[in-house]
Amino acid sequence: MMKKYLRMTLNERIQHLNLFINFTILVITGFTLKYPEAFWSSSISDVAMGMTYRGLLHRLSGVAVLTLGGYHILYLLFTERGRGILKDMIPQWKDAKDLLETLKNNFFINRPAKAIKMGRFNFREKLEYLGLIWGTTVMMVTGFILWFKTEWMTFFPMWTWEVAQAVHFYEAILATLTIIVWHLYSVVWNPDVYPMSWAWITGDLTEHEMELEHGLELEKIKAQEKGELKEFTEAAAMGGGRVYAVRREKVEEGGEKGSSLRRFYRIIQGFNETIKNWKGT
Amino acid sequence: MKGREDGFKAWRILGGGLPVFLMLGLILGGMARVAWGDNSLCLGCHQDESLKKQDAQGKSISLLVPEAGFKNSIHGKLSCWDCHIWIKDDKHAEGGKQAADKRVNCATCHKKAEKEYLQGLHSKMIMKGTERAANCFECHGKHNILPRKNPKSMVHISIIDKTCTRCHSDIPFVKEHGLGEAMPKEEFRKSVHGKTGEVTCTSCHGSHDLRSLIDPKSSIFRSNIPHTCGGCHPDITKQFIESIHGVLAARGRSDSPTCTNCHGFHGIKAKVDPDSPVNEKRIAKTTCPQCHAAERITKAYKLTTKTVQTYYDSFHGLSYRGGDTFSANCASCHGIHDIRPSSDPKSMIHKDNLQKTCGRCHPGASENFAKSKMHAVASIAGDEFGDKVVGWVRIVYILLIVAVIGGLTFFNFMDWLRKTIDRAH
């Protein structure tokens, strides 16, 4: 079987799915307000009270994204893996050079094309992550101003609210188009991964994908496996924190099988222990 | 025409005396003529279905008089001669169409009705020579006239609209007489007034003396409409005549709306009906904008032409356009029948009342909240600092979007192109 490299833990995949769903809801419910007569708005505007519940749904999803953002910050700060992500996400001078080299490759300035080895998070991903932070912050602030208009306008003049309205709208366009143009290119339309990068579902990347997108990271992992790189902790024996109760049971029982009820109890017990020993995924 | 009138007058004098003669005849037990109410002599011939004559245009007209219908009518006790006073003798039919009697004069008895009728539009049209303008029998019937309270009567409250629409829903008739639009037969029946069964054509138009739309005495003359409607809706009329629309309409401004401009006329629907122009889903889409988005009216009254567009672009308008009925429409802030200009201290949008008006939907709306400018488009050309800021934010953001998305698209397109080229080789 082909060797797989962990890209996203279950926790991270759920975070991604959460953002994916809520972002989509926000986009649809938001632009339905701005373009109520558009054909794609009819799914909301044709339903009785649809337009009334649209606002409620938009706010709910906004709060959900905000909560997710808060959780993500805690995840980054208080788990080992999270701190690793944060460290690897910091933009480096190398990223700018990678970007430039990619451009040179694509314009046939580098002949032959130079192989670019990128780290755990390449310049595309870092750029997008920064954009996500920026976008979420802007949308959150302006969104709350729009939501709590009576409170806001008790202290500030109308035009500040209008600024928030304009920013919220244009930032929404920017965010949506960025996702379509940038993110969907990376994970869908990029000929290397087309029809789709499965990492958001399986959590793994193949060696080939690792070579293309994260060459430096691959070298690092291989060196760590040979024991040459001691301080590298992410891909530790526990599979980067990917611990499943079923697997633990197998290790403990050594292939022995009890009754189904007994096995079920052991699964729960194993699960409990996993939680107890959890150092962050 | 005058000669004919004079002729009538002479016969009216004779006709007026006729009952007296008949009474005498009855009392004396018979003279040369037949006894009171005995129409057997006439009906002897006029019961024959094949009895016909040719009229002036050469059309064949049946001369049948259904006896049962006549006997049951309110005039059933009268004799034929009471109305057909020109019939001189038993031989009248022999003279052919020349001698045939056409002239029945209802005014012999119904003087008041005739006086009213002569004021009305139908009689004036007859005098002008219109052949098919309604006269007495067009609406009341001929031999089978029933009293108004009888449910089978042509002028019973539940049937009048059918009587009127015989002509007024007839498209060739309406076109020929230049009456505008033919009224769809069921339009009034389906209206909120038609459904009550208590209001009918004559309630608004009048009956014998119904007048033309352009007659200042008419109940449906523009500036009289609020009072006509006010007969049943007095509170609303009281509000309306003090509103800006009511005041201008009363002063003869033909482009200021009265009741019918917003509610429609024959087919008025309840406001909960989605087809009603005053339904909350339509009021800001078609009803108010029919004037307030119209170039001619906004120019004439020096209103801003942006009113409707700015509303549509605001949060209220955007949500409303999608079908949200909780979102403010025109009437939410401006009122319904009592719309007044913002300079009027009683106006909902007068600066002293704004906080209360906004507060109806935004509880806790502060004084500062109510100061917000409405129906305004912020742009860099604006007078105030805030307008300029909003305008610049928009411009900067548009440039940012074009630059960022353009850059990203370009980068990815080149990436895709390179990878595709590599694959092709």
Mean pLDDT of all residues in chain B? Answer: 83
Q: What is the count of structural domains for chain A? A: 2
Instruction: Look up the domain containing B365 and give its range.
Output: 271-377
A30-67 pLDDT per residue, tens: 999 999 999 988 888 888 888 989 999 999 999 999 99
Bridge partners (DSSP) listed for residue A206: A4
| Same domain for B394 and B319 | no
More confident position, A18 or B145: A18
DSSP A233: -
Average the pLDDT over B406-422 and give the result: 93
Q: Which residues of B touch A98 (CB under 8 A)?
A: none
Q: What is the pLDDT, as a whole number, of residue B129?
A: 80
**Domain boundary at B109, B130, B147, which?**
B109
Quick one: closest CA in A to B394, which residue?
A: A166
Domain membership of residue A237 (yes or no) is: no
Give B167's contacts (C-beta < 8 A, 6+ positions apart). Answer: B132, B134, B138, B173, B174
Most confident of the ranges A107-121, A165-179, B5-19, B184-198? A165-179
Mean pLDDT of all residues in chain A? Answer: 85
**Domain boundary at B58, B82, B109, which?**
B109
Of residues B372, B393, B412, nearest to A167 (C-beta): B393
Report d(CA B1, CA B4) in Å as an integer.
Answer: 5
| Same domain for B408 and B363 | no
Quick one: closest CA in A to B399, which residue?
A: A170
Average the pLDDT over A157-172 and give the result: 94
| Same domain for A99 and A10 | yes
pLDDT category, B2, cuts 50, 70, 90?
very low
| Same domain for B369 and B277 | yes
Q: Which amino acid is at A226?
A: K
Establish if A178 touches chain B: CB-CB under 8 angstroms.
yes
Q: What is the count of structural domains for chain B? A: 3
Domain membership of residue B131 (yes or no) is: no
Domain membership of residue B353 (yes or no) is: yes
Span of A60-64, B155-159, B409-413 with lowest mean pLDDT: B155-159
Quick one: closest CA in B to A108, which residue?
A: B418
H or E element in which residue B190 lies: helix B187-190
Domain membership of residue B145 (yes or no) is: no
| Same domain for A142 and A270 | no
Domain membership of residue A262 (yes or no) is: yes
Establish if A129 touches chain B: CB-CB under 8 angstroms.
no
Domain membership of residue A230 (yes or no) is: no
| Same domain for B389 and B329 | no
Is the Cβ pair B423, A191 closer than 8 Å?
yes
Size of interface A-B (CB pairs under 8 A): 128
What ipTM was assigned to the predicted interfaces of this complex?
0.78
Radius of gyration (Cα) for chain B, nearest Å?
35
Average the pLDDT over A84-101 and give the result: 93
| Same domain for A182 and A110 | yes
Domain membership of residue B368 (yes or no) is: yes
Domain membership of residue A240 (yes or no) is: no
A136 Cα to chain B: minimum distance (Å)? 16
Distances (CA, A) of B398 to B67, B389, B405: 87, 14, 10
Instruction: Look up the domain containing A268 and give its range.
Output: 245-276
| Same domain for A115 and A155 | yes
Give B406's contacts (C-beta < 8 A, 6+ positions apart). Answer: none
- Report helix, strand or coil for B333: helix
- Copy the structure tokens of residue B418: 């390179």
Domain membership of residue B81 (yes or no) is: yes
Bridge partners (DSSP) listed for residue A205: A5
Report d(CA A10, CA A14) in Å as an integer.
Answer: 6
pLDDT category, A239, cuts 50, 70, 90?
very low
Q: CA angle, corner A167, sides to A165 and A173, nearest 5? A: 110
B194-240 pLDDT per residue, tens: 888 888 888 898 888 888 888 888 999 988 999 999 999 999 999 99
User: How many other C-beta atoms are found inside a 10 Å radius of the C-beta of residue A151?
Assistant: 14
pLDDT category, B312, cuts 50, 70, 90?
very high
Q: What is the pLDDT, as a whole number, of residue B101?
A: 52
Establish if A109 touches chain B: CB-CB under 8 angstroms.
no
Check which CATH number belongs to the domain holding A70 and give it: 1.20.950.20
pLDDT category, B46, cuts 50, 70, 90?
confident
Q: What is the pTM of this model?
A: 0.76
User: How many other C-beta atoms are found inside a 10 Å radius of the C-beta of residue A12?
Assistant: 20
Whether pLDDT at B65 is above 70: yes
Quick one: closest CA in A to B365, which residue?
A: A150
More confident position, B278 or B34: B278
Domain membership of residue A56 (yes or no) is: yes
Is the Cβ pair B416, A190 closer than 8 Å?
yes
| Same domain for A165 and A34 | yes
Is the Cβ pair B405, A174 closer than 8 Å?
yes
Span of A113-122, B92-101, B373-382, B410-419 with lowest mean pLDDT: B92-101
Radius of gyration (Cα) for chain A, nearest Å?
23
